[in-house]
Structure 1
Amino acid sequence: MTHRITIVGLGVGELEQLPFGIYRLLKNTTQPVYLRTMDHPVVSELAAEGMNFTSFDSVYERHSRFEDVYTEIVEELLRLSKTTDIIYAVPGHPLVAESTVQQLLERTDAVDVVGGQSFLDPMFAALGVDPIEGFQLLDATAFTVDEAQIRQHLLIGQVYDALVAGDLKVQLMERYPDEHLVTLVTAAGTSKQTVQSVPLYELDHVTTLSNLTTVYVPPVTDEQTLNRDFATLKEIVARLRGEGGCPWDQEQTHESLKRHLIEESYELLEAIDLQDDNLMIEELGDVLLQVMLHAQIGLDEGYFDIRDVIGSVSDKMIRRHPHVFGETIVDSSADVVSNWQDIKAQEKPERTSLLDGVTKGAPALMRAEDIQKKVAKVGFEWSDVEGALEKVIEELRELKEAAPEERLGEFGDVLFSITLVGKYLGLSAEEGLQQTNDKFIRRFTRMEQLADRPLVEMTLEEQDSLWHQAKQEEQS
């Protein structure tokens, strides 16, 4: 015979607010009654009328995490129900913000749920908020700020104490203004109900926190804060491309935006080299804008949108990191790279050549580096850097002797060979040339500053003297 667990909701108020059917069930039952907690207004009144019960309050004292508390309560309830029918009573409604109930429903079919008033109705009444405007109900003990929809009413339950409130405050301040007014409602719908509003930064200073406390965070209306929300950027780009938007944005295509993405990417690289955080924020935003424009064009044409883009990269990251999201074990970053390449090879369509995956649109020096790394995997390379250096000398000689119509090809051979030297020395030709470009700009700019007249009026010897002076200043 299967014994059953009857889960009863005690509501949120005192005894007179308890539905008569539930009151009669609790008063007349011969089954043992177990309470998740005695810390509820109706429990003391039922006890005064002679009701007998056992609470799980002692379980809270044995664990530091609520997850562990709930797990032990569920295990104990399942054990008790093996020998007899039992009643399990919880605050509010059993199906609203009750982790133990959800776990029981997942573990067994021998469960009957008897409703009770949830705290939501008296909560909205206390706040004067209409839930049809849109709201979220979240758990403070498992809260992550990225879940919060800042344009909606936000209710965060189980704000038990100052420690929970402090953690909650720190997370909320990542997305809400420090002065954003929040409201704490305790024992909503009872004669002991309290409502207190404080600035967000004072959330953990309130002294009336208990297991009956819920924090209400109103929607954000501040434009500066809303502008930091991803949804705002999506709306801005859609408006720019939409009817009545910007003619320039409306005319753009994937092809016309290609050069802009490259330009913005290089400006980001410059900001990284300058180690300028504010400039990095700006340039990362410009790169993100390019991504958003491409995604909006995809949506306008009916092929894809930004959710497809995000979903694709999320799936890929999970798939290519089995050591993080799966059971694979790695010992070093080299193992990670090896796994990545193996998984990547399985994802790509079958290729006929080792070089099929070389990106055609990459800068030439970077493309040369990629080619050389790939062919090295099958042993097509010099045994050491000396062979590569000799190849540079050979290519320089051929360039010197080449006919005019052959010079471009021979010049390319020289650059390719120099790039190969960089591979053996562990140096990037692209980064090395960028560094030299920057150095040349610095020194030439200093030449202009040192000159007593326009450089165009100087002889090459005079210009060369200024160059060496600028070089010496830089090296001193």
Structure 2
Amino acid sequence: MGSITVVGMGPGSFGLMSMEAWELMQNAPQLVLRTAVHPTADELKKKGIRFSSFDERYESADDFESLYNSIAEELTDRAAEGEELVYAVPGSPLVAERTVVLLREKAEKKHVELKIHPAMSFVEVLYTRLGIDPISGLTIVDAADLERLPLDIPTGIVITQVYSPMIASEAKLSLMELLPDEFEIIYTHNLGLPDESIRKIPLYELDRQPDIDHLTSVYIPAREKDERFDFAPFTEIMRRLREPGGCPWDREQTPESLRKHILEEAYEVIEAIDKGDKELLCEELGDLLLQIVFQARIAEETGHFSMQDVIDGIADKMIRRHPHIFGDIEASDAAAVMVNWEAIKRREKPERSSAIDGLPPELPGLMAAAKLQQRAASVGFEWPVIDDAWAKCREEAEELREAVKNGEKAHIEEEMGDLLFACVNLARLLDVPAELAVNKANRKFRSRFSYVEKKVHEHGKRWEDFDVDALISFWEEAKAQERISI
């Protein structure tokens, strides 16, 4: 079994490559470059260093992902067969180098030894030249991935791999979805080389530059907060309603008086979702947003926080709690995302000593039960298999039956609570939100009962004129009507 040692050739000139990388390349049994189209490769030739590269594959590959995958596949196959390889990549192996990401995955599967050495990337040269402190935040993205760039990134953005006018044109069009055409960007070329060029240009001129090639990158300065989020028209309406001379009702409201409205609007949003009515959902989301803006306005009047603070806070939290998107953490599936999310929450709220701390006491009972169970499951307190949850429901139902036989009210209430709690746990394991399920059942009962009530009135009789069997027949008619409408 051989090995792969990955080194970086630095951002450009030979002098910016590390001594460690130079020594490893000098002494390499087999030196392989991802590409020889790099200033350092010319210096290697002059110094008599023999190497091979994958440049010929760039012409025949269908796309970059398949190209990089084939490179990683060949390198790990060769190492598995006993070759000792030094693999050199432009810049740093750890900055925007897809082949190294793929090498890690394939080397682990094939049990190939992989060593990755740090190196200087073009990013260090860029923030040195531009006077940027990276501690304030920097987002690095491949030009091919710009379409996946989230809206309102709060940091400066470095766009790599702008290697042709076509790629520059595609990048420009993607950025114009987020930025004004005239937005000033910084175009960089040949960073770290004697003929390096750094110039400010309007966004619309990005693909018109005469020197676009593999050493081209772009920097998008961070935008001001008031450019990222514009709630001004909405918040201005609320300000006027709350000011002297505004609406008497709006002026009288307090955070406490609005609590019930928040709950009502949230449930109306859920109802609109369940109905699949997109126009109603849009309306109800606006009503819910009104409650958020209302609360923020009251808080701003008392000097506690503003609507902008609310938006910035949640934007920062979403970035902070998604390190697999905005950082260097990997999450292969939704379960891994939730593990990361809970770990980050625990770090953010060290005052919570228990896994079940922090649940609002006002939560509806079924929702609170589900939350408690989910928190407990997150630390391993969970049924091994779902059959155990089914068995627990049957056990609690039997205990309720025995309590009813004994006739003690307090005991019946306790056992009924245990049965409901067990049913909520079963619903959670079946991925069915208990609170939403019971709300749906309530709406279904309301619809069917209304049908029964209509039939009673249509017969010109009173409820007591019908026996249970007759009423149940109306109920079954209602169920049949539902099936027909579906």
User: Structure 2 length as normaliser, TM-score?
Assistant: 0.56
Query: Shift in Å at residue 344 of structure 1?
Result: 8.6
Q: Of 201, 217, 220, which aligns to 2:220?
A: 217
8 Å Cα contact 2:160/2:217 also seen in 1: yes
Equivalent position of 1:376 in the other structure: none
Identify the match of residue 485 of structure 2 among 417, 426, 430. Answer: 426
| Cα displacement (A) at 1:30 | 5.5
| Aligned-residue offset at 1:36 | 0.4
SS in 1 for 2:86: strand
> Is there any run of 5+ residues in structure 1 with no aligned partner, and where?
241-245, 316-341, 373-387, 407-411, 428-476
Matched, 1:285 2:366: no
Aligned to 2:118: 115
Equivalent in the alignment of 1:325? none
Q: Secondary structure at the match of 1:50?
A: coil
**What is the correspondence of 1:6-25 to structure 2 with a 5 Å cutoff?**
6-25=5-24
**Which runs of structure 2 are paired with 1:245-256 in the superposition (5 Å)?**
248=253, 250-252=255-257, 254-256=259-261
Taking a change above 3 Å as real, the CA distance of residues 147 and 249 of structure 1, as seen in their structure-2 partners, is farther
Instruction: Give the counterpart letter for 1:395 in structure 2.
Output: V
Structure 1 position 32, deviation (Å): 2.0
SS in 1 for 2:139: strand
TM-superposed CA distance for 1:122, in Å, is 0.6
Residue identity opposite 2:14 in structure 1: L
One-letter amino acid of the counterpart of residue 47, structure 2? E
* C-alpha separation in 1, matches of 2:283 and 2:120: 50
Q: Is the 8 A contact 1:7 1:113 kept in 2?
A: yes
**How many residues are paired up?**
343
1:257 to 262, 271, 276: 262
Residue 66 in structure 1 maps to residue 64 in structure 2: yes
- 3-state SS, counterpart of residue 250 of structure 1: coil
- Does the CA-based 8 Å contact 1:358-1:370 persist in structure 2? no
Are the counterparts in 2 of residues 136 and 149 from structure 1 also a CA contact under 8 Å? Answer: no
**What is the DSSP-based 3-state SS (H/G/I as helix, E as strand, rest coil) of the residue aligned with 2:170?**
helix
Distance 1:290 1:48, change over 3 A: same
Residue in 1 that maps onto 2:326: none
Matches within 5 A, 1:49-448: 49-81=47-79, 82-106=81-105, 107-108=107-108, 109-147=112-150, 150-221=153-224, 223-227=226-230, 248=253, 250-252=255-257, 254-261=259-266, 284-290=285-291, 302-303=358-359, 346-348=430-432, 357=438, 359=440, 362=443, 367-369=445-447, 395-398=456-459, 400-402=460-462, 423=482, 426=485
Contact kept, 8 Å, 1:177 with 1:225, in 2: the verdict is: no
For 1:249 and 1:177, the matched residues in 2 are separated by: 40
* Cα distance, 1:228–1:215 mapped onto 2, change above 3 Å: farther
CA contact (8 A) 2:33 2:88 kept: yes
Distance 1:423 1:105, change over 3 A: closer
Question: What fraction of aligned residue pairs are identical, expressed as a percent?
Answer: 27
After TM superposition, the structure 1 stretch with the greater mean CA deviation from structure 2, 32-41 or 220-229, is 220-229
Query: For each residue in 1:185-209, what CA deviation from the matched residue of structure 2 results, as whole angstroms up to 9, or x when unmatched?
Result: 1222221322233333333333432
Relative to 1, partners in 2 of residues 1:397 and 1:143: Cα closer, same or farther, differing over 3 Å?
closer
Gaps of 5+ in 2: 243-250, 297-309, 311-344, 346-356, 361-366, 375-425, 466-470
Q: Deviations over 1:96-150 (max 9, x none)?
A: 2212122223314522333332112111022221212211122222344444652
Match of 1:257, as an amino acid?
A: I
Q: Could you tell me which amino acid in structure 2 is paired with residue 152 of structure 1?
A: T
Report the equivalent of 1:438. none
Aligned equivalent of 2:393: none
- Cα deviation, residue 71, structure 1: 0.8
TM-aligned CA deviation for residue 34 of structure 1: 0.8
Larger-Rg structure: 1
Does the Cα contact within 8 Å between 1:33 and 1:53 map onto a contact in 2?
yes
Superposed displacement of residue 165, structure 1: 2.8
Contact 2:262 2:288 in 1 (8 A): no
**Contact 1:92–1:119 at 8 Å: present in 2 too?**
yes
